[in-house]
Amino acid sequence: MTARHLPEPGGAPAAAGASPGGRRALRESLKRLAGSALASAAPQCRYDRMVFILGHMRCGSTALSQVLCAHPAISGYGEAHIAYDGADGPGRLLLNQARRGAWKRRALHLHDKILHNRHDRAAPEGFFAARAIFLVRQPEPAIRSIRHLFAAIGSAEYATDEAAAAYYGARLARLAALWHRFPAERRIGFDFAGLTSDPARVLAAASHMLGLAQPLANAYPRRARPAEGAGDPLAASHFRAIVPAAAATSLGQAPAPLNLPPAALRQLEAQYRTLRSLFAEAGLSPTP
């Protein structure tokens, strides 16, 4: 099966006079039908052949995802924004990659990164047969970076520290719940500091968990600015490897204090450290 032979969701014309909402619903239905068909026909379209990065915005996921997608055994490009809520999820991901010209027909694994609760909130039982790389970042730098990103792209979605912190806290709570659902041998966890300070160690551990005969290498092709929503639009396109945090950031050297109550920051720090302790219990990411 080649990309040009894949069914194209949304290709059928909408009925005359259909509302925008009706057309969106029709496109979604077609995607799900095509995804279900592929899930039953294509060997890649099984959850146990998938590799997820599960994290939050500004945790280093774009660089790690680029490294994964540069490997010949892994097909992907970044964040596909697919809601994994049924058996058709892997098929819809393959279609998404094919439309973007990112599908590797002979790859063993399909890859996606998931940074929002809406995409894994209703994950079916099969979802937890995938392999998962968890990635988190300390609250203060993560929240500052989220604010900086959305200001830079002219979006008001996270216009306050409070809004960014609410997203971050909710996502960490979800990640903690997801961690316990994956079998121990199919999950691994790191934080941003460990990824950027010692990428060789992170990639060696991830290669082992993924069972890759050819280990992951800290290198990937330099790409143009990623498509909207697929990855970091600020710095990622300037690099060809995971680099130290200080080299990658476009934030100022003296960031302003966050406008959050001290108790709220303490709660977020506790959530972050809880996740770090789970990773450490698995022998992966020791807490400083």
Give the Cα separation of 204 and 209 in Å (integer): 9
Mean of the per-residue pLDDT values of the chain: 85
- What pLDDT does 21 receive? 66
Chain segment 14-72, per-residue pLDDT in tens: 444 557 766 766 666 665 656 565 555 577 889 999 999 999 999 999 999 999 999 99
- What pLDDT does 222 receive? 75
Q: Parse the chain into domains and list their residue ranges.
A: 21-281
Give the Cα separation of 239 and 230 in Å (integer): 16
Class of domain 21-281: alpha beta
Tokens of 75: 């097909």
Give the Cα separation of 120 and 82 in Å (integer): 9
Helix orientation angle between 199-210 and 61-70, rounded to the nearest 10 degrees: 50
Q: Is the pLDDT of residue 164 over 90?
A: yes
Give the Cα separation of 45 and 35 in Å (integer): 9
pLDDT band with cut points at 50, 70 and 90 for residue 286: very low
> Across residues 180-205, what is the average pLDDT?
96
> Across residues 133-161, what is the average pLDDT?
95
Report strand pairing: 109-114 vs 50-54: parallel
